[in-house]
Every structure is written in C-alpha cells, then in structure tokens.
Amino acid sequence: MHILVSNDDGYSSTGLRAMVDVLANIADITVVVPESNCSGSSNSITLSRPLSVNFDSNNYMIVNGTPTDCVHLAMTGLLDSLPDLVISGINNGANLGSDVLYSGTVGAAREAYMFGIPSIAVSLVEKGWGNLEPATMILRNIVLNLIKNPFQESFLWNINIPNAGIDHINGIKATRIGRRYPSQLSTQHKTPRNEIVYWIGPVGEISDKSDGTDFNAISNNFVSITPLEIDLTIMSNLDKINKWVVDV
C-alpha cells in the first residue's frame, strides 16, 4: 500500500514524525507537508502566487503553502502515481463537531477525497504529546485492518483519539458530528503604536454531546470515527425552497 501523508501542523510536528515512523513499517510512505503551522486553514488553496517544494533530511516534500496545497500538488504533479490512501495528522488537538469545517487537518484529507482517494484525518484530543505512542498504534491497527479488509468505495474519515494510555481507551465508535455554541468573543488589544488589533476568541462550548456524537465518544474515552461527505445540501429543504421562491 502507498500512503500519502500530510498535516496542518507543519513538517517539524512531533505527531507527524511519530506517525510516519510507525506507518513506514507497514506501507510505502510519501510525505508532502506545509513548511509552517496552518491550523484553521480548512480547504484554503493558494492562487495568488507560485508554490515552491523543497526536501528535508527525511526526504519529506515541504510546500510553502496550505495543507490543501500540499495534497493538491501531490495529486496533480508531484507523485508519479496516485496513492492508495491519504492520512492527514496526527494533529495536536481535537477536531470535533464544527471543527471539521475549519480544520486544515481535515481540509487536507477532504482534498484527497475530492480526487477519489480514501482519506483519513486523525487528531489527538487535547494539546500535547503525552500519549502519542498509543495513538500511533491505534492508527496503525486501523490501517492494517483497511489493508486486510478494504472498503469497496472511497471514504473520508475524521478520527479523534483520546489523549490517554492504551489501558484507558475503551474501544472505537462510529459517530456523527456533535455541535458547539457560537464562538466566544474576539479580544481587542492596543499595540505599542496605538493600533487596535484583534485575536479570534476560543471555540464555543459544546451544545450537543448526546449519544452517538463524536463529543460523547471522546468524553467516554472511545476513539471516534466520523464518516464525512462533501455534499452539504439539506435535501429536505429543496421542495420547500421551490415552493417558497417567487417567480423571476
């Protein structure tokens, strides 16, 4: 199996390197990653300037762009052939609920999925790498199971792994996306030059962590696997809009 690896934390990420070290024992790995942290970049793609690609001592391809740029370049020119699987991560912190709309980690996986490639975004819940080894082994087992029992269609999975020792993880659950309240207020600051600047505020508190959600699984120390789709259409609203809309 050939796996393309990317992330949104950049080429020096501890989670990236640990994941690559483990997966390299079971698959052929190609790494195409951004040169700097791109958290919150979603599916942003660079159109205003050309992109450069350099290699580090591990032969990682490093792009001066976004996670989506990395995967897009890999799919459209950097690779001799398309990979069998794309994995984005391991992210330093959770991507739960509406995080999937903002996350560069999920964005990279989503870009590959739009090319028809099975894709996984994987995140370690809570900041820090204290339980990185169990997370890499769980991911390894998931990939091994995909090799042994491949899905018959492409997929986009958002995986969150509890930041806990292996003995404290209760299993794996397929989940749906939970919900958050709106984001908290931005904060205003004055610079030494008397310029007003703003920092984006923290994410909103959880509003739905009912049974079956990713939030619920994580709160009970289960690995959460949420299957995602590109189509955001609310199908039940189509007829309502057609009846509501005025004649043009």
User: Binding site: what residues are annotated?
Assistant: 8-9, 39, 91
The kind and range of the H/E element at 20 are helix 14-23
Structure tokens given for 115: 């090319």
**Angstrom distance (rounded) from CA 141 to CA 156:** 17
* Cβ contact 7:29 at 8 Å: no
**Angstrom distance (rounded) from CA 137 to CA 127:** 18
Please report, for residues 4, 80, 176, 196, the alpha-carbon distance to residue 20 in angstroms, rounded to integers and kept in the order given: 10, 20, 28, 42
* Cβ contact 110:43 at 8 Å: yes
What is the dihedral angle through the alpha carbons of 63, 68, 151, 147, rounded to the nearest 10 degrees? 20
User: Binding site for a divalent metal cation: what residues are annotated?
Assistant: 8-9, 39, 91
> Of 154, 151, 152, 95, which is closest to residue 119 (Cα–Cα)?
154
